[in-house]
A and B are shown apart, each in its own frame.
Chain A
Amino acid sequence: MHDPLVIAGRTLRSRLLLGTGGFPSLELLAASIAASGSELVTVALRRIDPDAHGSLIEVLDQAGVELLPNTAGCHTARDAILTAKLAREAFDTDWIKLEVIGNEHTLMPDAPELLRAAEQLVDDGFTVLPYTTDDPVLARRLQDVGCAAVMPLGSPIGSGMGLRNPYNIALLRESVSIPVVLDAGIGTASDAALAMELGCDAVMAASAISRAEHPVRMAHALRSAVEAGRLAHSAGRIPRRLYASASTPNEGLPDLS
């Protein structure tokens, strides 16, 4: 089924975005990207290590994926904006996964700083994909300032707790028209499938894959789950009901007394 994801005019066949964080080696990262089918992967910007072995950029170029730089580690709009501008210089892309962290332990976004940074980056010509809470009102505000997509968390980054509030994710989905990418909290395939069944347009996973016992296998599992969830969403599930509803008709039932 031809059912591409379109974000800011860019067409992606895969609805799974991959975070590169946490992979124990670049080889495992490359194999996991291939297994995931992902075409858009995140990278962070950090101080260069001239003695580093292997180049992440080269591995990602060879994989043929598009880069989505992030502003991970930024706690203020100012830092996030500066990091986005540095990423644009480094990677020749105006796409930015905007993260403005408000708490070290939960890694929850700082909503006012996030909105401020998003507005300014949009004005500066960036294609902004903000990592946000599952608050439908904030998502709407992020859309209003011109974000290309929203990336609500299912649960805290790296927690593997899945979607703690599916109801909010469903409300958020209804409250914006831009793509919704469920980001953070994915632990395993069923979490990704649930996100897609709720109407999310894509799922992003990093730790779920990179920290799995078998990352390549989990990359494949999430790919299948995202496809299955998307199909199920478009198929129109049956309503939930409290009591049974027989699927076999009683008509023609023999009298065996």
Chain B
Amino acid sequence: MIFLNGQASDTRPGDTIAAALARLGLTVGARGVAIAVDGAVVPRADWPTFELPEHARVEILTAMQGG
């Protein structure tokens, strides 16, 4: 099971970050989006090739009003 923003998801181990994003209607070029997997930043350039491991905790973040 892979968790996207704390929710169990259909994303499977071996899927790329780009594939997981596509299911949410997001592209690799999405402005203002950042990704962390298991508490580490994954640079945008790696999203098309980064394969998610089993039990991965993926945080997909963007700009919200604040501060």
The chain A residues found within 8 Å of chain B, CB to CB, are: 19-23, 29, 42-48, 50, 55-57, 60-61, 67-70, 72, 82, 85-87, 89-91, 97, 99, 206
Contacts and interface: CB of A to CB of B under 8 A. Distances in A.
27 contacts: A21-B65, A43-B65, A44-B64, A45-B34, A45-B62, A45-B63, A45-B64, A46-B64, A47-B59, A47-B61, A48-B5, A48-B24, A48-B62, A57-B32, A57-B62, A57-B63, A69-B63, A72-B66, A82-B41, A85-B41, A86-B41, A90-B32, A90-B33, A90-B34, A90-B63, A91-B32, A206-B67
B25 interface: yes
B6 interface: yes
Contacts of A69: 63
A51 to B, nearest CB: 10
A206 B3 CA distance: 33
Q: Name the prevailing secondary structure of the A interface residues.
A: mixed
Nearest to A99: B67
A89 B44 contact: yes
B60 interface: yes
Given A82-B41, A89-B34, A90-B33, A70 B67 contact: yes
B6 A57 contact: no
B40 to A, nearest CB: 8
A185 to B, nearest CB: 14
A203 to B, nearest CB: 14
A157 B44 CA distance: 33
A21 B59 CA distance: 22
Contacts of B67: 19-21, 42-44, 68, 70, 72, 97, 99, 206
B29 interface: no
B61 to A, nearest CB: 5
Contacts of B5: 47-48
Contacts of B31: 57, 61
A43 B65 CA distance: 5
B42 to A, nearest CB: 8
Contact of A44 (B33, B40, B63): B63
Interface in B18-46: 24-26, 31-36, 39-41, 43-44
Nearest to B44: A89
A28 to B, nearest CB: 11
Q: Which of B25, B40, B62 has the most CB of A within 10 A?
A: B62
B2 to A, nearest CB: 15
Given A48-B5, A50-B26, A89-B44, A56 B63 contact: yes
Contacts of B59: 47
Contact of A20 (B25, B32, B39, B65): B65
B36 A82 contact: yes
Contacts of A85: 41
